[in-house]
Structure 1
Amino acid sequence: MRNNPTGRQLRLGTELRKLRERAGLTSTQASKLLGVQQNQISNVEAGRAGVSPERVRALACHYDCGDKALVEALSDMATERTRGWWEEYREILPAVLLDLAEVEHHSTMLRTAVTVHIPGLFQTTDYAREIFRQDVPEMSPPDVEHRVSFRVKRQAVLYRDSPTPQHAIIHEAALRMQFGGRSVTGAQLKHLLDMTERPHVTVHVIPFDAGAFPGSGQSIYYAQGPLPPLDTVNLDQSHGPVFLDSEAQLDKYRVLLDRMEATSLPPAQSRDFIHKVIQDL
């Protein structure tokens, strides 16, 4: 029995519960169909107990789920039992940050929209350090360094053999905010400019003169799964990341990101814009 299930384990349980409820079955009815105790179904759906790919397929059959692609994707989630690099931070950082790294690791594409900070996967160590120094309550120097090293290790998804495509929408305000002063900001913007040259990275800039646009009041981080129903939205709050995965929420943030991208400059013009901001420093 797991005392602290990961975000991925919780998500698998949530999706199995959705399938059961869609079939109109109670957990007691599901347990009888599978020939197990009712608490076993409850523990699987709560992420407290593991489940084999074979049992996932059996549950999907009992739940009359005809979406073969979804069933196989959920079976793959049940198969995945590797402990990622983020586990070394298990007793150091909040578990929700480890869940974020796990979501990124398994994502097929990442979309982000920011209005104040440069996206985390593009941040330099000095820039990230300055961001974390502004947290309330103030973090100790060792805690700041743990956060910085964790953020840098998360960036590995952009450098591995099959890098995860990253689509970022960045408001001009985020480009002009001088965290750490001109030197740190200048190095950060040059690094961002270098990242735009990578084939799997797409950056769109929303200039001040674009005016109002949907989603302007928040930062959005959208991680695509193997199928749209398995996507995840992360909203970065002052108390930590918040994950959303209901169908209505996913639809809403897909539309928001699409509209924000439609408001922004195309990639080539965005690179020119970033270069201009660097010259203005």
Structure 2
Amino acid sequence: MAVRSNPTGRQLRLGAELRKLRERAGLTSTAAAQLLGMKQAQVSNMETGRVGVSAERVRTLACHYACSDRALVEAIADMTGDRKRGWWEEYREILPAGLLDLAEVEHHATHLCTAITAHIPGLLQTTDHARELFRQVVPEFPPPDVEHRVSFRIKRQAVLFRDPSTPYLAIIHEAALRMQFGGPGVAKGQLEHLLGMSERDDITVKVLPFAAGSFPGSGQSIFYSSGQVPQLDTVHLDQAHGPAFLDAEAQLEMYRVLLDRVEAIALDPAKSRDLIHNLIRDL
């Protein structure tokens, strides 16, 4: 089988999960290769996402690794099934690979959650709002790059409109709602769009008001994507140098707790809509 030179984020995650299964079994890659009748390089290539793996091979590996968690095994096996190119591949030579990986994670997620302080979440941004954000990046993007990033961001929002749509919880700090990116007109259009999206059945918007005071994770923009089983969840942290993806079980558990605490102190959906209504009225 041909060796991939640039595996996607999902292919890398599949390989990482196979490595975790092996390590839980207490096997080195050399010992696993001997057990499976393979070369050590083959095991290494599978675990780095450089070669494809079939669902049946995943089940065979799990059996040899004495993994009894059938839900996890089947969820990993399902990761091998979608081999067609996603829409994000048309941007592969245009945008950083991390952005494409984010779109791929969103596409396969069973539930999405974000907690954000300074910006409206990307999945809920208007075209005008997104364009203004990308115009403010340092170093400055050339106009064509701005438009590529805007179109990519808007296409990502399809996960909220497909059938079935992906349930989405957005916890947004009041500060993000009051920032008038692009001026009052753009800000008003963004808030009206956010209000309309918050009324969709599978979208929940909760506002974290200034009055809530301090809260955990206040310095981060956190995006949590749920997989078929909790072990396959992913945390995405939006950073100045590019996106970071976390999937270690301890990290996932920490961010679950953090997001639960933030959600608990946010306004409920009805009061959140009231606050947004008042901000629109004041513009």
What is the TM-score of this pair, normalised by structure 2? 0.98
Are 2:224 and 1:222 aligned? yes
- Separation (CA, whole Å) in 2 of partners of 1:162 and 1:24: 40
Which residue identity is paired with 1:114? Answer: I
4+ aligned runs moved over 4 Å, structure 1: none
- Separation (CA, whole Å) in 1 of partners of 2:50 and 2:267: 46
- Separation (CA, whole Å) in 1 of partners of 2:35 and 2:77: 19
2:132 to 130, 133, 139: 130
- Separation (CA, whole Å) in 1 of partners of 2:28 and 2:214: 47
Partner residue in 2 for 1:105 = 107
Q: Give the drift of 1:46.
A: 0.5
- Separation (CA, whole Å) in 2 of partners of 1:177 and 1:79: 43
1:45 to 30, 47, 53: 47
Paired residue secondary structure (1:79)? coil
- Separation (CA, whole Å) in 2 of partners of 1:255 and 1:268: 24
Q: Give the drift of 1:33.
A: 1.6
Q: Give the drift of 1:104.
A: 0.1
1:139 to 138, 141, 149: 141
2:186 to 184, 187, 190: 184
Paired residue secondary structure (1:105)? helix
Partner residue in 2 for 1:251 = 253
Partner residue in 2 for 1:157 = 159
- Separation (CA, whole Å) in 2 of partners of 1:262 and 1:215: 14
Which residue identity is paired with 1:215? Answer: G
Partner residue in 2 for 1:88 = 90
Partner residue in 1 for 2:262 = 260
- Separation (CA, whole Å) in 2 of partners of 1:239 and 1:268: 36
- Separation (CA, whole Å) in 1 of partners of 2:49 and 2:105: 16
Q: How many residues align?
A: 281
Paired residue secondary structure (1:202)? strand
Partner residue in 1 for 2:60 = 58
Q: Give the drift of 1:32.
A: 1.4
**C-alpha distance after superposition, 1:172-211 (max 9, x if no partner):** 0000001000000000000000001100000110111111
**C-alpha distance after superposition, 1:83-130 (max 9, x if no partner):** 100000010000110000000000000000111110000000000000
Tell me, which stretches of 5 or more residues in structure 2 are unaligned? none
- Separation (CA, whole Å) in 2 of partners of 1:216 and 1:141: 32
- Separation (CA, whole Å) in 2 of partners of 1:204 and 1:4: 38
Partner residue in 1 for 2:207 = 205
Deviates more, 1:33-42 or 1:175-184: 33-42
1:75 to 74, 77, 97: 77
- Separation (CA, whole Å) in 1 of partners of 2:70 and 2:82: 18
- Separation (CA, whole Å) in 1 of partners of 2:240 and 2:219: 14
Which residue identity is paired with 1:3? Answer: S
- Separation (CA, whole Å) in 1 of partners of 2:241 and 2:84: 28
What is the TM-score of this pair, normalised by structure 1? 0.99
Which residue identity is paired with 1:66? Answer: S
Which residue identity is paired with 1:65? Answer: C
Which residue identity is paired with 2:185? Answer: S
Tell me, which stretches of 5 or more residues in structure 1 are unaligned? none
